Structure 1
Amino acid sequence: MRFVKADWDPEVPGFRLDAHAYLAELPRLRPALPPGARSFATDPGHYDIGAAIRCVKDLELTGVHLATDKSGELVLDFAPNRFKHDTGLRISYSRVTHFSIDYEHAIDWMKVDTVLLDEILPEEGGGCVHEIALTDGSITVRCEDLQAVWTDAN
């Protein structure tokens, strides 16, 4: 990620998380983001780590659904962390041109990958790139736009 920091600190041990540089840059980036990405990135609770409402931190990755018909559709499902969230999150991506999951760490004591933080940047010529830092890796999606919907945990 270019502005958001989500790095492992072996001295703690734990993650150092910092979205301040991204939040400072977001007013400049905002007009270039597609409408759905803009709405999600600028939601007031998105980076409020202490809040349970609409903060992505600690959501658990539960599903990756790729279209097989070359439509470019992708859906990522995230369950609520039972200690923090009341709702889960579903992100639907349109006209995906790139999707990858890269595993970088070896945290074998966690049963699921959870979200540390994310960052959405505009792409030159339209669209956006969404990067999601996970406890054990990262997700990168390049797409035309995305829709993020908070879903009932039941």
Structure 2
Amino acid sequence: MKYVKAAWDDEFHGFFTDATAYLAALPELEEALPPGARAFARDGDHYRRNAARCVKDLELADIRIATDKSGTLTLDFAPNEFKHEAGLRIAYTGVVHFAIAYDHGIDWMRSDAVLLDEILPADDGGCLHEIALTDATITVHARDLQAIWGEPPGTAENG
């Protein structure tokens, strides 16, 4: 990530995360972001650690890639039981690149949790979304995205 810091800190035996530089740069970046990406990045709770709609600590629950060449991708994140009231679905349109790189360095967590993310404008008018997880990094280059807070399928009791 260019502005956001999210990495393991050996000294403190935990993750260090800091979105300060990104939040400072966001006013200059936001006009070049597509509407959905801009709204998600500007959400006042997005980086507020104790907020119910903060992305930190959400757990990766599902990845759905379209096989019909439509360029759609959906990422579902389950709520952290100690922090979130609901999960998050991010629906991407016009996807031209998707990658997930696993580090396989942390084996004591049952699922990958979000450390922080960063959304930057792409040269083609779309957006670049990078999500740092506890044991992986997701990168998506898309025309736009829509962030939908609610209970992703399969996470509700009757889901």
Q: TM-score range by the shorter chain?
A: over 0.9
TM-score (norm 1): 0.97
How far 1:105 sits from its partner (Å)? 4.4
Per-residue CA distance 1:27-61 (angstroms, 9 max, x = gap): 0001000000000000000000122x210000000
**Consecutive aligned runs of 4 or more in structure 1 exceeding 3 Å deviation:** none
Q: Tell me how large the CA RMSD over aligned residues is.
A: 0.9
Superimposed CA distance per residue, residues 88-146 of structure 1 (whole angstroms, 9 cap, x where no aligned partner): 00000001000000012410000000000000000013000000000001000000000
* Gap runs ≥5 in structure 1: none
Which amino acid letter does the alignment assign opposite residue 146 of structure 2?
Q
1:35 aligns with 2:35: yes
- In structure 2, the residue matched to 1:6 is 6
Which consecutive unaligned segments of at least 5 residues does structure 2 have? none
Count of paired positions = 153
> Equivalent residue for 2:125?
126
Q: TM-score by structure 2 length?
A: 0.94
Whole-angstrom CA distance in 1 between matches of 2:124 and 2:82: 41
| Identity among equivalent pairs (%) | 63
2:115 match: 116
